[in-house]
């Protein structure tokens, strides 16, 4: 029996680490474009100071190929893992075992929020959670959301509930470091959680781009600390400050790379006859001579309709709305062959008390998750009616489900 839930358990407060580093943000450069974030109202690019992220966006700075996304595609020349030929660097072979009807793949996420000593770069937990929601809306094509027009990949994301040592966690870390905030220094060696088992997302200045991953997983990065997704903090989450890159689609795009996708315009105009082995190695996305910027509503490139609404193009957030079936097949192939220890393919939660990993097992992690959620009045603990009210009915419902056990 579980009848004496202690609802006074207090977890360590989140937020800024103690201030101790007084160095000024370092000046960093992307190519010939120096980029320096002093604060959200003082952003210096190539000698010009902008007083808001809106002003940066209006300047067209992110409408160039070298600032939108700086993901690298260096092919080491060999498939060092020796497997995954269905979705290696050179080709995509669409196979039934990678189709979404083979079951949901659930990916644990840790978000490392890095801020400067002035507090620039801080992202509240609610906005971090909103980004996970957006990922799920887009990858699951949830009806009634911005992602609803796409195809359902049956790939789901959740903030980790257990850290690498097995301790309960909300899946978010906060770090204050000016060098790391400027995307300098090997911060991943200090912060990464086992990259075989967690999607590690970092928010900081992203080296002056909206985001990037260091390389596709087919290159052997998986398992190293540097395996990561990096997103500009002002473009992270729903209703982020950086309009028109404010709806969480930078992260959707970068996670597409993290799961093995190229840009739709990779290689420019290519033969559609050999579409599986050139360009983006995807046959149901037409080739493009160059990225689509803005929100054109339609575009012809290479003599064909451009896939301007694809998450792997460069359109504004509101105009991105789909992964194609072949892209989904390649991502699921990548998960199976190149990130084999990442996704959870096991059972779903067995009842309303089954709140934490491992699912289908009711244990202290579930109790902790309920207590944390109840204390913070989060939806996870709002089990009983009325919705939005956290009272003894929720506690009783949790206890009843917990005691009834998983089938
Ligand atoms: Zn990209």
**Shared domain check, 150 and 282:** yes
**Shared domain check, 237 and 320:** yes
Residue 73 CA, ligand 1 centroid: distance in Å? 10
Q: 397 vs 4, which has greater pLDDT?
A: 397
Domain for residue 347, yes or no? no
Tokens of 353: 């008390």
**Shared domain check, 371 and 320:** no
Residue 70 CA, ligand 1 centroid: distance in Å? 6
Separation between Cα atoms, residue 285 and residue 312, nearest integer Å: 10
The secondary structure of 264-315 as a DSSP string is TTTTSS--GGGTTTSTTS-TTS---SS---S--S--EETTEE--TTBTTS--
Using pLDDT thresholds of 50, 70 and 90, give the confidence band for residue 359.
Answer: confident
| Burial grade of 381 (CB within 10 A; 0-12, 13-18, 19 or more) | buried
Residue 392 CA, ligand 1 centroid: distance in Å? 48
User: Mean pLDDT throughout 196-220?
Assistant: 96
Per-residue pLDDT at 172: 97
Q: Which of 9-23, 82-96, 150-164, 367-381 has the lowest mean pLDDT?
A: 9-23
| DSSP-assigned letter for residue 232 | E
What is the average pLDDT value for the chain, to the nearest integer? 87
**Shared domain check, 43 and 173:** no
**Shared domain check, 187 and 46:** no
Into how many domains does the chain fold? 3
**Shared domain check, 304 and 250:** yes
**Shared domain check, 176 and 154:** yes
Q: Which CATH number covers residue 316?
A: 3.40.390.10
Catalytic machinery residues: 254
Domain for residue 245, yes or no? yes
- Interval 275-318: pLDDT, tens: 999 999 999 999 999 999 999 989 999 999 999 999 999 999 99
The secondary structure of 12-57 as a DSSP string is PPPSPPPP---PPPPPEEETTEEEEEEETTEEEETTEEESSHHHHH
Percent of the chain with pLDDT over 70: 88
Per-residue pLDDT at 78: 55
Domain for residue 12, yes or no? no
**Shared domain check, 215 and 184:** yes
Residue 28 CA, ligand 1 centroid: distance in Å? 21
Count, residues in the chain: 407
Per-residue pLDDT at 24: 32
Per-residue pLDDT at 335: 96
Per-residue pLDDT at 300: 96
Residue 187 CA, ligand 1 centroid: distance in Å? 22
Domain for residue 316, yes or no? yes
Using pLDDT thresholds of 50, 70 and 90, give the confidence band for residue 130.
Answer: very high
Q: 22 vs 326, which has greater pLDDT?
A: 326
Q: Taking a C-beta distance cutoff of 8 angstroms, is the pair 265, 289 a contact?
A: yes
Residue 140 CA, ligand 1 centroid: distance in Å? 20
Residue 23 CA, ligand 1 centroid: distance in Å? 32
Per-residue pLDDT at 346: 65
Residue 74 CA, ligand 1 centroid: distance in Å? 14
Q: What is the pTM of this model?
A: 0.78
Percent of the chain with pLDDT over 90: 70
- Interval 211-268: pLDDT, tens: 999 999 999 999 999 999 999 999 999 999 999 999 999 999 999 999 999 999 999 9
Residue 69 CA, ligand 1 centroid: distance in Å? 5
Using pLDDT thresholds of 50, 70 and 90, give the confidence band for residue 331.
Answer: very high
- Structural domain span for residue 89: 67-337
Separation between Cα atoms, residue 159 and residue 108, nearest integer Å: 6
Using pLDDT thresholds of 50, 70 and 90, give the confidence band for residue 129.
Answer: very high
Domain for residue 7, yes or no? no
Domain for residue 357, yes or no? no
**Shared domain check, 82 and 35:** no
Per-residue pLDDT at 105: 93
Q: Taking a C-beta distance cutoff of 8 angstroms, is the pair 332, 99 a contact?
A: yes
Domain for residue 270, yes or no? yes
Residue 71 CA, ligand 1 centroid: distance in Å? 5
Residue 27 pLDDT more than 80? no
User: Mean pLDDT throughout 113-142?
Assistant: 97
Domain for residue 9, yes or no? no
Residue 210 CA, ligand 1 centroid: distance in Å? 9
Dihedral-angle region of residue 99 (phi above 0 means left; psi in -120 to 50 means alpha; beta otherwise): beta
Residue 30 pLDDT more than 50? no
Residue 126 CA, ligand 1 centroid: distance in Å? 26
**Shared domain check, 235 and 96:** yes
**Shared domain check, 290 and 379:** no
Using pLDDT thresholds of 50, 70 and 90, give the confidence band for residue 111.
Answer: very high
Question: Hey, is 371 helix, strand or coil?
Answer: helix
């Amino acid at each position: 029996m579980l009848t004496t839930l202690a609802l006074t358990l207090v977890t360590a407060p989140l937020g800024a680490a103690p201030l101790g580093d007084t160095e000024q943000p370092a000046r960093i450069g992307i190519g010939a474009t120096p980029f320096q974030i002093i604060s959200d109202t003082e952003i210096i690019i190539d000698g010009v100071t902008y007083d808001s992220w809106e002003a940066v966006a209006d300047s067209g700075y992110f409408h160039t190929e070298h600032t939108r996304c700086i993901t690298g595609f260096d092919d080491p020349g060999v498939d060092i893992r020796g497997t995954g030929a269905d979705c290696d660097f050179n080709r995509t072979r669409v196979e039934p075992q990678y189709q979404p009807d083979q079951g949901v793949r659930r990916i644990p996420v840790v978000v490392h929020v890095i801020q400067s000593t002035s507090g620039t770069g801080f992202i509240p937990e609610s906005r971090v959670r909103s980004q996970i929601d957006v990922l799920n809306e887009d990858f699951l094509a949830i009806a009634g959301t911005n992602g609803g027009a796409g195809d359902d990949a049956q790939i789901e994301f959740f903030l980790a509930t257990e850290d690498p040592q097995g301790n309960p966690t909300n899946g978010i870390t906060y770090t204050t470091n000016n060098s790391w905030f400027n995307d300098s220094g090997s911060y991943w060696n200090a912060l990464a959680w086992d990259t075989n088992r967690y999607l590690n997302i970092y928010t900081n200045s992203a080296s002056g781009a909206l985001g990037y991953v260091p390389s596709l997983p087919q290159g052997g990065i998986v398992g190293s600390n540097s395996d990561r997704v990096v997103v500009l903090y002002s473009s992270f989450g729903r209703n982020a400050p950086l309009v028109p890159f404010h709806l969480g689609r930078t992260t959707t795009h970068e996670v597409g790379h993290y799961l093995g996708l190229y840009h739709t315009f990779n290689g420019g105009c290519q033969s559609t006859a050999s579409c599986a082995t050139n360009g983006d190695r995807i046959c149901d996305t037409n080739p493009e001579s160059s990225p689509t910027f803005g929100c054109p509503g339609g575009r012809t490139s290479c003599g064909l309709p451009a896939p301007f609404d694809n998450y792997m193009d460069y359109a504004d957030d509101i105009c991105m709305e789909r992964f194609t079936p072949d892209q989904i097949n390649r991502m699921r192939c990548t998960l199976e062959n190149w990130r084999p220890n990442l996704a959870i393919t096991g059972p779903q939660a067995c009842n309303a008390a089954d709140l934490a990993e491992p699912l289908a097992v009711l244990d202290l992690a579930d109790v902790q998750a309920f207590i944390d959620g109840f204390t913070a009045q989060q939806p996870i603990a709002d089990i009983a009616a009325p919705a939005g009210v956290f009272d003894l009915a929720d506690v009783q419902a949790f206890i009843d489900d917990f005691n009834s056990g998983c089938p």
